[in-house]
Homo-oligomer: A and B are copies of this chain.
């Protein structure tokens, strides 16, 4: 199509985007029409003059990606896919209905959405992951991220900016819709494009500043971005919120407000008058043909020796390295603690699939989400305590249902001298709160390696917790650890209580078992390696057979193993005695802390004896 004809067509497409955004939000009596209106030209040109994709097959592996980081512009995204023919246009006014997948903010219930957005500032990190995946599979697909200007206040955006520069992601293009209006007031930088330029340049990006309503400028910017090598590009687009309608354009107090029926009628009159003669919708550029990805092989069985002392964090490092050798989809992400989490064992074998994010947990998790959405099986790992830094990303990963495998090391007071800031004591509360998260907690090297294989084979978000201290191998290499199971580690007909532990506390329970046995008291010991889903039937059976359930965990009392077991057994009328860390801990030696904070063998013995 010649440039003038193209511009006319795109102008009309942008006008239709505005009309549909207004119609849908007015129909729903909620939503953000003016947020959509500022981005209309940017998105018309992107979809119909730049991106290569197949509108009948949004998940095509070679197709360019669009992450709508400003998720409240969902009606615009839906209008784009209607214009491309994927969504029937008449369905757009089902926006936000319970019966429709056209939700208030985009979720992967829609096949053209890679990751859920709506918590601002996350899209660029996901875009980093999509772009890294292109490199992984050797594809030339490009990744675009549409961001609002307000969300660039989020630190996660600058983590992603820095990471994209470090990884030289020239296939990544951020588009910032600088409409200068936030939700409750003007943005901090309003239309000060020069300050934006300074910041993005300082973070190593190629910067293009344009008028975001000027289609020739937009087309030139996409062209320039496509030709930029060695670094990512950001397009700073000066726009007006509510553009195209006289009583919304550039005006405050319109954020998140649909037009009334009367206002809509007036707005549509104005917009309909803006159509120009055109030559139809431009043909969308097709992606290159999809190529088959190498099939994963089988991971060899564990090869440990009973009794050997190996920290589960170390077994984690070996396991992901081994897994990656048999499965090309497996990648690892680090936040400058690879020598503590032992993910450096992965890097040593598969440096090309090991991504460094320095001390920036949000972009590490966000990039993992993007990688997972594009077919990789990412293992981002850091200290479990510092995964809380990415709690909102983890929340959105749950909403997205993405296939990430988070691993947190250095759990609990058993890390010892470093003190409470480094101790994860609320990580299970965070992970198990998400109803679709799997939460795993191995105790020895064999179970760690088996659970890594299980986590990789499972489709969906997984959290795996490892520990700092060395613990003995207690399982045979052939032992299986299916998700949702548990292990009866000690059992007799005379058990008067069941003690449920995992990780370091399993070994305290075994010590307590032996001490009690010497006194003629028998207890059952359960290794609850799968905290969520949980084997409720076996726990109830153990509770009924032994009369008492006692949990012991290197975690605060709320949200950990005790609560998980209690929820599982409550329908059977069973209650749980909980041993957990009762207060903010402090520095000390690992064994000393287990004892001082009430989760050592001595306390288990007391709990069994003093009912």
Chain A 147-182: CB-based contact to B (< 8 A → 1; otherwise 0)? 000110111111100100010000000000000001
Residue of B nearest to A425 (CB): B433
**A327: B residues at CB distance < 8 A:** none
Whether A418 and B30, one on each chain, are in contact in the complex, defined by CB atoms closer than 8 angstroms, is yes
CB distance from A555 to the nearest CB of B (A): 8
Indicate whether A421 sits within 8 Å of B396 (C-beta atoms), given known contacts A159-B153, A563-B558: yes
Q: A87 in the interface, Cβ–Cβ < 8 Å?
A: no
List A residues 346-383 near B (Cβ within 8 Å): 356-360, 362-363
**A388: B residues at CB distance < 8 A:** 391-392, 395
Whether B340 and A399, one on each chain, are in contact in the complex, defined by CB atoms closer than 8 angstroms, is no
Q: Max chain B CB contacts within 10 Å: which of A109, A338, A587?
A: A587
Indicate whether A421 sits within 8 Å of B71 (C-beta atoms), given known contacts A401-B584, A559-B433: yes
Whether A567 and B574, one on each chain, are in contact in the complex, defined by CB atoms closer than 8 angstroms, is no
Residue of B nearest to A360 (CB): B153
**A97: B residues at CB distance < 8 A:** 587-588
**A593: B residues at CB distance < 8 A:** 98
Q: Max chain B CB contacts within 10 Å: which of A107, A339, A388?
A: A388
List A residues 186-238 near B (Cβ within 8 Å): 187-188, 195, 198-199, 201-204
**A587: B residues at CB distance < 8 A:** 96-98, 100, 103-104
Chain A 439-454: CB-based contact to B (< 8 A → 1; otherwise 0)? 0000000000000000
Whether B119 and A433, one on each chain, are in contact in the complex, defined by CB atoms closer than 8 angstroms, is no
Copies of this chain assembled into the complex:
2
Q: A417 in the interface, Cβ–Cβ < 8 Å?
A: yes
Q: Which of B104, B436, B573, B592 contacts A584 (CB 8 A)?
A: B436
Q: A596 in the interface, Cβ–Cβ < 8 Å?
A: yes
Q: A389 in the interface, Cβ–Cβ < 8 Å?
A: yes
Whether A155 and B155, one on each chain, are in contact in the complex, defined by CB atoms closer than 8 angstroms, is yes
Q: Which of B182, B422, B556, B558 contacts A118 (CB 8 A)?
A: B422
**A162: B residues at CB distance < 8 A:** 153, 188
Whether A155 and B159, one on each chain, are in contact in the complex, defined by CB atoms closer than 8 angstroms, is yes
Residue of B nearest to A195 (CB): B202
CB distance from A545 to the nearest CB of B (A): 18
Residue of B nearest to A96 (CB): B417
CB distance from A469 to the nearest CB of B (A): 13
Q: Which of B339, B395, B575, B584 contacts A574 (CB 8 A)?
A: B575
Residue of B nearest to A200 (CB): B202
**A386: B residues at CB distance < 8 A:** 119, 392
CB distance from A499 to the nearest CB of B (A): 16
Q: A121 in the interface, Cβ–Cβ < 8 Å?
A: yes
Q: A288 in the interface, Cβ–Cβ < 8 Å?
A: no
A-B contact pairs, 13 of them (CB 8 A): A98-B587, A98-B593, A119-B421, A151-B359, A182-B359, A195-B204, A199-B203, A385-B392, A425-B433, A434-B556, A435-B584, A567-B578, A575-B575
Which residues of chain A have a CB within 8 Å of any CB of chain B?
28, 30-31, 71, 96-98, 100, 103-105, 107, 109, 116-121, 150-151, 153-159, 162, 166, 182-185, 187-188, 195, 198-199, 201-204, 334, 336-340, 344, 356-360, 362-363, 385-386, 388-389, 391-392, 395-396, 398-399, 401, 416-422, 425-426, 429-430, 432-436, 532, 556-559, 562-564, 566-567, 570-571, 573-578, 581-584, 586-589, 592-593, 596
